[in-house]
Structure 1
């Protein structure tokens, strides 16, 4: 009889021990799962915040081009086919008075090769018109790109012309009724290009008659 009671008590104690062990394991597992979930959530939040900060940084660094400051880019030929240059708001054929009314008094007014011109931005942009006429026939802008850079942006020119009065070859691009003519000029250290934007030869002849 005593043996039976001892056996019963032993079985009960053993059962309680197993229950306590299982309860402890379950708690540890739950705690571990919660920790893992919290860690994942925190990482996701940090990643989202980092992405926002990165996006904000890019937006801050992006600066729009200023109107009136010529930029040679992949759109120059397409826009040039419509009588204008990229980021310059005046088309060929614009009256001198209209440009002055919007940009103010020119930096300089002079004559070159039989054509009058007036300039802005320390001669970075020149507007040419025939003597006795106030209609712009050529827009000339200074560039800081090399020959290699010009070709990499616009592709192979329609003509590459050797000019005895130029330190290197000139580049000619035809676009619609117009042309972009790049002439190489000497500067203090090396050479650079100036772009002459005008009607193409056929249309220049028609307009002169």
Structure 2
């Protein structure tokens, strides 16, 4: 008769462990300053350098990446007015600008509107999954997350936000 309670007992132990771990994660998040709005109190874009954090998916659904103040569709003149001339520019499947100190790529259409934004990260693949959750799709070492009308594509150390074509 007691054997019938073993699966229930195991489930209860697992539930307790999950609750404890969730509480610890919540405390750690509250004490962490990474990705918090510590520069101005409430503006995720004051720093101007890409950081992958718990805000990344919600910001991506609005057409921008965390700490990059330019949405997809922004005129490239606005980017240059705010950030100056890039450290590197070129043309690989479209024009791009790279701001090395900000770890940020800005891609544009022929009409000089931002078509995609990207950033460099030093996080491991597993760390990115821990932050963003389970990806919408995986292919070898690449990850993608669909969020609203946009998707985040991660390959190696590059995180890129593009419009999602359904």
Taking structure 1 as the reference length, what is the TM-score of the superposition? 0.56
Question: How far apart, CA to CA, are the structure 2 residues paired with 1:101 and 1:83?
Answer: 20
Could you list the runs of 5+ residues in structure 1 that have no partner in the other structure?
1-57, 163-168, 185-192, 203-209
Residue in 2 that maps onto 1:135: 113
Question: By how many angstroms is 1:123 displaced?
Answer: 7.6
RMSD: 2.0
Aligned partner of 1:194 in structure 2 is 158
Aligned to 1:156: 134
Alpha-carbon offset, residue 125 of structure 1 = 0.9
The number of residues matched between the two structures is: 126
- 1:201 Cα shift? 2.5
* TM-score scaled by length of structure 2: 0.70
- In the aligned structure 2, how far is the partner of 1:77 from the partner of 1:88? 13
Tell which structure's C-alpha radius of gyration is larger: 1
Which aligned pairs between 1:51-200 and structure 2 lie closer than 5 A?
A: 64=38, 67-112=47-92, 114-121=93-100, 124-130=103-109, 132-162=110-140, 169-184=141-156, 193-200=157-164
Decide whether the 8 Å contact of 2:107 with 2:115 is kept in 1.
Answer: yes
Question: Does the 8 Å CA contact 2:107/2:114 hold for their aligned counterparts?
Answer: yes
Q: CA deviation at 1:63?
A: 9.0
Structure of greater relative contact order (alpha carbons < 8 Å, 6+ residues apart): 2
Shift of 1:196: 1.1
Q: What does the per-residue CA deviation read over 1:14-67, in whole Å, with 9 as the maximum and x for residues that have no partner?
A: xxxxxxxxxxxxxxxxxxxxxxxxxxxxxxxxxxxxxxxxxxxx9xxx993552
Kept in 2, the 8 Å contact 1:107–1:123? The answer is no
1:61-85 superposed Cα distances (whole Å, 9 cap, x missing partner) = x993552111111111111111111
**Structure 2 gap ranges (5+):** 1-30, 40-45
